[in-house]
Structure 1
Amino acid sequence: MSDSADRSWAEPLATGVALADAQLRLRWVNPALAELLAIGPRSAVGQSLAVLLHRPEWMALAQRALHEPAPLQLRGIDVPSARGDAARMDVSMQPLPGGELLLEVHALAPPAPSETPLSATLRGFAHEVKNPLAGLRGAAQLLQRRIDDEQLRSLAGLVIAEADRLAALANRLLRHEGGAARMGPVNIHEQLERLGYLLLAESAPPALRHDYDPSLPDIHGDADRLLQLLLNLARNALEAGARTLTLRTRAEPVVRLGERAARMALRVDVLDDGPGVPLALRDTLFEPLVSGRADGTGLGLALAREIAREHGGELRYTSRPGETVFSLYLPMGHAHD
């Protein structure tokens, strides 16, 4: 893409397209992107890619994208324009031979007034996974009917149960069932044991340790959503390189949860021995579509925090190399101002 003829295909596109060099300086933008950013196509040449990717962690991902074999994605990011406004966009970054970076930018329609950006993204995701889930469940049912080994039948049953649970979550995200959590008494230790069973069925199961306070009472919550939260935390740790997970429960007195305080809270810790949270991500770790992995979606921790807040709780973490602890705080009894 060294001359104008090479770029002529992108000139009439409604999709914004840009080319950056190995130093992440813009070499060219097409008219659609220039209009989105309210800049002149010629005046953009030579400027830093920070004109588009204005946050340091996004620029760090762009630098990494130069050396990745597959495109990196930034979904639903707010990109400011020279007009002073900002538009929500998806950005794909594709490395090219010669050390250049090709960007495709898609402007997104704004969410409904009552809908958060994360909720809109999750609804789209839920729509996409429903058909594969149905196929997965059907295949597991066939296996369960045709195999005689009791352990394999049990694993097929686990696949069916998880497909049903994820389908139910997808339906709620799509508001087929009102979208509200199904609240009731939840024994947190039963959910942690279920989590352990799911993790041990993974292709590379972790070493699991348990440190429970058996005196803790049931809490009020949605068992499926809380299990999803805990599963997101555990899988996030494993994908980051952890080999051992410790599941710990405690009662915590006087905890601030958002704008309110709980006289007593349940604390659930998921402790791992991984490398720790990268410094570049620590301030934005729970934001949607932020991931430290090239193949990450950036939805797991954002969804976990949304579920925690849906239950009147909070999700926090501490991290250093060799020990990262994600702590879920849930109110026990009534919170007060």
Structure 2
Amino acid sequence: MNDRAWRTWAAQMATGLALVDAELRLSWINPALAERLELGLRNVVGQPLDLLLREPDALAQAARVLKEQRPAQWRGISLAVVGAREITADIALQPFEDGLLLEVHVLAQPLSNSSPLSATLRGFAHEVKNPLAGLRGAAQLLQRRVDNADLRALAGLIIDEADRLGALANRLLHHDGTVRLGPVNIHQLLGRLTDLLQAESSPPQLRHDYDPSVPDLLGDADRLQQVLLNLARNALEAGARTLTLRTRIEHGLNLGERVLRMALRVDVIDDGTGVPAALRDTLFQPLVSGRVDGSGLGLALSREIAHEHGGELRCASRPGETVFSLYLPLERAHD
């Protein structure tokens, strides 16, 4: 693909892209990135890279990538926007011709302390307790009356989930701002998620890509289970037929102003329709949903739980491949 054809293709991409020359000056950005940064396409040409970057050592790191000709990943980088505002993004850098290609994924902004999420969830928790009790009672009756072992196991699964959701509802109603920490085996949680998904009337195809060296982490198992279930449900509602559950260990993870020495990354990857471009910047905010019948609470709650654990929840999406990545610190379990 020649340069003109490449730029024509890149200009149509929803992902923000930028080219930097050998002097670390911006030589081109695509319309998607210009829109996110509220910049004119021509205004940035010839400007130094630090026009956009608010990180003090970003230029030195970019120069190192250029010199060593090796790709790099920046996470949680602050970018300047017109009007002295800032946004946060993950950036992939790779050598390209005589300079660098930057792929910019703008992250949804964290929930503010004034978010209506907690109050909304408390109201929801109050309303859901009675139906949960009825659901649990019906499952107990079924478990006692059926002879088929598989059906009894499914009834037991319903009872366990009703108990877990009941406990979550109680804690939302009486939330004291703390997470109840204990040893958590993430692969056990993913195994339970697999059991729940396989109990669906039309279960998705599941693929597992686990790092067996992942140690236990310090966390709240029930709340983390809810995050994984929310992510899987969202994928199915987006038309996913295949889900991949992947675990990895990351070192030196940059989360804004914090750096985690060692972190667990759990990826939930689906082949659904993807996140609509109009929702990408507000995806994790409460009451935001891409479906007419959606509540817009699942992802907001999931990110709040990630923050409670000292971690983060991020998303990268294109049609046919959406990746939700849950990052959780591991150093607290081994300090």
- The TM tier, using the shorter chain, reads 0.5 to 0.7
Kept in 2, the 8 Å contact 1:209–1:245? The answer is yes
The one-character-per-residue Cα deviations of 1:35-58 (angstroms, maximum 9, x if unpaired) are xxxxxxxxxxxxxxxxxxxxxxxx
Partner of residue 315, structure 1: 313
The one-character-per-residue Cα deviations of 1:230-286 (angstroms, maximum 9, x if unpaired) are 100010010010000000000111112243110111100000001111011111000
Kept in 2, the 8 Å contact 1:182–1:221? The answer is yes
Return the alpha-carbon distance in structure 1 between the equivalents of residues 113 and 281 of structure 2: 26
After TM superposition, list the pairs within 5 Å mapping 1:62-77 onto structure 2: none
Aligned match of 2:258 in 252, 255, 260?
A: 260
Partner of residue 152, structure 2: 153
Which residue type is aligned with residue 207 of structure 1?
Q
SS in 1 for 2:273: coil
In percent, how many aligned pairs have the same letter? 77
Partner of residue 241, structure 1: 239
Kept in 1, the 8 Å contact 2:218–2:332? The answer is no
SS in 1 for 2:331: coil
Offset, 1:143: 0.7
Q: Are 1:141 and 2:127 an aligned pair?
A: no
Partner of residue 75, structure 1: none
Which residue type is aligned with residue 141 of structure 1?
Q
Partner of residue 168, structure 2: 169
After TM superposition, list the pairs within 5 Å mapping 1:318-329 onto structure 2: 318-329=316-327
Return the alpha-carbon distance in structure 1 between the equivalents of residues 226 and 143 of structure 2: 25
Return the alpha-carbon distance in structure 2 between the equivalents of residues 190 and 128 of structure 1: 30
The one-character-per-residue Cα deviations of 1:128-183 (angstroms, maximum 9, x if unpaired) are 000000000001111111111111011001000000000000000000x7463221
Offset, 1:204: 1.6
Kept in 1, the 8 Å contact 2:289–2:296? The answer is yes
Offset, 1:321: 0.9
Partner of residue 119, structure 2: 120
SS in 2 for 1:315: strand
Structure number with higher relative contact order (C-alpha < 8 Å, ≥ 6 residues apart): 2
- CA RMSD for the aligned pairs? 1.7
SS in 1 for 2:202: coil
Aligned match of 1:192 in 178, 190, 193?
A: 190
Number of residue pairs matched by the alignment: 222
Query: Using a 3 Å threshold, how does the CA distance of structure 1 residues 236 and 205 change in structure 2: closer, same or farther?
Result: same
Partner of residue 268, structure 2: 270
Kept in 2, the 8 Å contact 1:140–1:159? The answer is yes
Return the alpha-carbon distance in structure 2 between the equivalents of residues 161 and 180 of structure 1: 24
250-259 or 188-197, which deviates more: 250-259
Which residue type is aligned with residue 286 of structure 2?
P
Offset, 1:316: 0.6
Query: Using a 3 Å threshold, how does the CA distance of structure 1 residues 334 and 182 change in structure 2: closer, same or farther?
Result: closer
Offset, 1:199: 0.7
Which residue type is aligned with residue 302 of structure 1?
A
Offset, 1:116: 4.1
Kept in 2, the 8 Å contact 1:172–1:180? The answer is no
After TM superposition, list the pairs within 5 Å mapping 1:204-215 onto structure 2: 204-215=202-213
Kept in 2, the 8 Å contact 1:250–1:267? The answer is yes
Which residue type is aligned with residue 200 of structure 2?
E
- Runs of 5+ consecutive residues of structure 1 not aligned to the other structure: 1-112
Which residue type is aligned with residue 151 of structure 1?
D
Return the alpha-carbon distance in structure 1 between the equivalents of residues 292 and 207 of structure 2: 29
